[in-house]
């Protein structure tokens, strides 16, 4: 389908779907960047956000309530997980961290499956004007445009919190030298708990924002997690701007490749990741 109209539509679509990927990846990269924990339960938390939002949506019929409940609930789950499990793993080898978060992810997925079954659940997209809008160059779902705007705002807030507030400064100082920060009288433990909670909340938020687009199933986070890893590796592990740029690059690669050969779109994504790993192993924005 190689024509000018389709090229413009795909370019645009790459940006929108890339932004959604960026949001999901942001939580993963924040937690890794600050706590050094590669959270393999991130996909499960994404899924949990979708379900928490779904339950709230069923109860109230309000999408706004669904988003708030989805994000807050998963943020709370994140805090609880950090206190009960993850904090005991900060000082342990990376393999242990990977195994424990992977295990936590499986437990969450299977608990949700036990409660809701494997059939997918639907959350209706809110409609402002019309479910489908004509952009001139493409017919596009209104909700995806709305989601793009929401994601842009959410990412801007996250950026502000991390780089322009005292909390963000302490977090970044904590990464550099947690002992020194501790000596300055700042409770690093509490900061770490907050960061893990924020990372989880970002996953849950992304889960409910994605719910009207993709069906909510217990395994919805599995495939997403893999794409997130690609995004994070391309952008630079632990880099917040990297997650955003990586997300958009991934979205564009998949959209534009599909014009020539849809079969190759995933292959090209991994090819790009390989290229980055070979030429710039720390990722585009990575510093380590």
Rule CB under 8 A: choose which of 36, 85, 116, 215 binds another protein: 215
**Cα dihedral angle (43, 26, 22, 119), rounded to 10 degrees?**
20
Shortest distance in whole angstroms from residue 254 CB to another protein: 6
Nearer to another protein, 17 or 34 (CB): 17
Shortest distance in whole angstroms from residue 18 CB to another protein: 10
* Residue 222 binds another protein, judged by CB under 8 A: yes
Q: What share of the chain is helix, strand, coil (3-state, %, to 5)?
A: 75, 5, 20
Rule CB under 8 A: choose which of 91, 179, 263, 279 binds another protein: 263
Task: Let me know: does 32 contact 235? Beta carbons within 8 Å.
Answer: no
- The CA distance from 168 to 150, in Å, is 22
Residues of span 42-101 touching another protein by CB under 8 A = none
Number of other CB atoms surrounding residue 274 within 10 Å: 11
The DSSP symbol for 129 reads S
Rule CB under 8 A: choose which of 23, 56, 206, 220 binds another protein: 220
* Residue 247 binds another protein, judged by CB under 8 A: no
Shortest distance in whole angstroms from residue 129 CB to another protein: 14
Number of other CB atoms surrounding residue 104 within 10 Å: 20
* Residue 16 binds another protein, judged by CB under 8 A: yes
Nearer to another protein, 175 or 222 (CB): 222
Nearer to another protein, 131 or 281 (CB): 131
Ordered alpha helix ranges (H), 117-219: 142-164, 166-176, 178-183, 188-210
Nearer to another protein, 118 or 179 (CB): 118
The DSSP symbol for 133 reads E
- The CA distance from 46 to 78, in Å, is 11
For binding to another protein (CB under 8 A), which residues are involved?
Answer: 1, 3, 5-6, 9-10, 13-14, 16-17, 20, 109, 113, 117-120, 122, 125, 131-132, 138-141, 143-144, 213-215, 217-220, 222-224, 254-255, 258-259, 262-263, 265-266
């Amino acid at each position: 389908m190689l024509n000018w109209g389709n090229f413009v539509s795909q370019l645009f679509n790459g940006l929108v779907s890339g932004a959604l990927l960026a949001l999901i990846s942001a939580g993963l990269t924040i937690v890794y960047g600050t706590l050094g924990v590669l959270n393999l339960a991130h996909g499960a938390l994404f899924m949990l956000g979708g379900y928490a939002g779904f339950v709230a949506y069923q109860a109230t019929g309000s999408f706004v309530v669904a988003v708030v409940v989805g994000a807050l609930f998963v943020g709370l789950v994140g805090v609880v997980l950090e206190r009960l499990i993850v904090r005991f793993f900060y000082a342990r080898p990376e393999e242990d961290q990977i195994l424990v978060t992977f295990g936590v992810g499986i437990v969450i997925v299977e608990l949700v499956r036990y409660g809701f079954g494997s059939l997918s659940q639907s959350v209706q997209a809110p409609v402002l004007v019309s479910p489908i809008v004509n952009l001139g160059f493409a017919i596009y779902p209104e909700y995806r445009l709305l989601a793009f705007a929401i994601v842009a705002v959410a990412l801007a807030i996250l950026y502000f919190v991390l780089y322009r507030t005292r909390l963000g400064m302490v977090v970044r100082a904590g990464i550099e030298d947690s002992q020194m920060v501790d000596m300055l009288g700042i409770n690093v433990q509490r900061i770490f708990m907050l960061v893990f909670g924020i990372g989880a909340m970002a996953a849950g938020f992304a889960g409910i924002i994605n719910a009207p687009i993709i069906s909510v199933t217990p395994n919805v986070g599995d495939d997403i997690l893999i794409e997130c890893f690609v995004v994070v590796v391309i952008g630079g592990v632990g880099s917040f701007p990297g997650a955003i740029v990586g997300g958009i690059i991934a979205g564009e690669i998949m959209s534009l490749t599909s014009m020539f050969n849809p079969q190759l779109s995933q292959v090209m994504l991994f090819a790009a990741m390989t290229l980055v790993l070979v030429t710039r192993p720390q990722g585009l924005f990575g510093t380590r």
